[in-house]
Amino acid sequence: MTLAPLLLAAALSQAGAAEPSTPTATAAATPTLELTGFIQATWSNVDAPAGGRDANSFDLRHARLEATGRLVPRLGYRLEVDAAGQSIDRIVQDAYVAYRAAPGLELRLGQFTTPFGAEQREPETRLLWVNTSYVVAGLARGPDRRDLGLGAFGSWSLGDRLGGALGVEAAAAVVNGAGPNTTDELVEKNVWARAGVTYTMGEWTARGGLSYGYGRQLESLGADGQLGTIDDVTFYFQRVGGDLTLDTPWFVAIAEIALGRTDTSGVAGVAQARGQVLGVYGKTPWNLGPIVRLDGYDPSDRVAGNGRERITLGAYYDLVPLTARLVFNYELDRSGASVKTGDAATLLAQVVF
């Protein structure tokens, strides 16, 4: 049976935080370079709520080029740029040096995806819903999924246990908290971490984990435009989350839940937030299948009517398995009136090279 959707089976079988950027110590010392990339183009139509403005547009979503390789044994690199970036902070994506500190353990210095949850770690080419879930956008990261800092990513096999293959994985990062390509002058940095297990029995793979985040971020500068003055608005945050992924011969399911606390300067009290998402992709022998996702997010228990809810329905078709793909999403917006943006239809065409 074709395992076209999401490539999750391959990703999960590695039971790791990411594909390794450096080889084993026994590899040759010759520097290496591998170039890959992908292009994503979309058509979208938004049916705005009453009083809003409908939209219909074509967009070059991503035009990525990725360079990975090894300089010497145990020392590698990754550089990813997006020519479709509409601003400087969107052009450079991943950009880090990686050191294989021990078997299964990689240290990264530079800009990379912070570890929290299941969806965030998946590359854009594997996800079959076009837009990031509310819980990930609101609670599982800072201003962006990528940030600048130092991270440790590890995965280890524990061999056969309970009739299947058992593995553990752990990742932690200390980052600026200001997002990609941005210098953060706040003294306090952000910490993101995740620990989990994987279990594979035959064609079934389960992966689960717990995540944590803590730090301080800048919400807005004061009227003087200078960081560090009394009129700046900053906030301290804490995040905890749990995720579970199940890959079977017939479907892939991803579930996440996250809770958060935010203490904003100049605002009395601490705001509580929560979010959850459940997504399912179907598998068939014909390189196509259905897509369903339910996600919701309440950013603050101190504000009424600002909860976001969405139902995503759709389908995918792989013209060339693992290389060329069409994805259709229709999002039913069930959010509160004050934050409702309207139902949206999106068609995405993707080519990986």
- 83-106 tens-digit pLDDT: 997 677 789 999 999 999 999 999
The C-alpha atoms of residue 59 and residue 188 are separated, in whole angstroms, by: 37
20 falls in which pLDDT band (50, 70, 90)? very low
Q: For the chain, give the mean pLDDT.
A: 89
Handedness of CA 88, 89, 90, 93 (dihedral sign): positive
Tell me what the mean pLDDT of segment 115-123 comes to. 93
Task: Tell me what pLDDT residue 218 has.
Answer: 85
Mean of pLDDT values over 117-142: 92
- Residue 60, both tokens: 């070059």
Please report the pLDDT score of residue 23 as a whole number: 44
Mean of the pLDDT values across residues 230-235? Answer: 77
pLDDT attached to residue 226: 61
Q: What is the model's pLDDT at position 163?
A: 87
pTM of the model: 0.86
pLDDT confidence band for 347 (50 / 70 / 90): very high
**Mean pLDDT confidence for 192-211:** 97
Which of 302, 295, 303 is closest to 335 using CA atoms? 295
Assess whether pLDDT exceeds 80 at residue 224: no
3-class DSSP state of 258:
strand
Q: Band of the pLDDT at 66, cuts 50, 70, 90?
A: very high
> What are the tens digits of pLDDT across the range 324-342?
999 999 999 999 999 999 9
Find, among 247, 277, 9, the residue nearest to 117 by Cα: 277
Predicted pLDDT at 230? 62
Query: What is the pLDDT, as a whole number, of residue 227?
Result: 62
Tell me how far apart the alpha carbons of residues 275 and 214 are, in angstroms, rounded to a whole number: 17
Higher pLDDT, 230 or 296: 296
Length of the chain, please? 353
pLDDT of 353 higher than 80: yes
Residue 268 confidence class, pLDDT cut points 50, 70, 90: confident
The proportion of the chain whose per-residue pLDDT surpasses 90, expressed as a percent, equals 73
Cα separation, 34 vs 18, in Å, equals 17
Span 201-228, average pLDDT: 85
SS3 call for 137: helix
Of 115 and 28, the structure prediction assigns the larger pLDDT to 115
CATH, domain 5-27+35-352, list 3.40.50.970, 2.40.50.140, 2.40.160.10, 1.20.58.220: 2.40.160.10
Q: List all residues 6 or more positions away from 41 whose beta carbon is below 8 Å from its beta carbon.
A: 58, 59, 60, 61, 348, 349
- The whole-number pLDDT of residue 26 equals 46
Q: Which are the contacts of 147, defined by CB distance < 8 A and separation ≥ 6? A: 111, 112, 114, 141, 173, 175, 176, 177, 178, 179, 180, 190
- Residue 62 identity (one-letter amino acid): H
pLDDT score for 114:
97
Q: Are 22 and 98 in contact (CB under 8 A)?
A: yes
* Confidence band for 233, pLDDT divided at 50, 70 and 90: confident
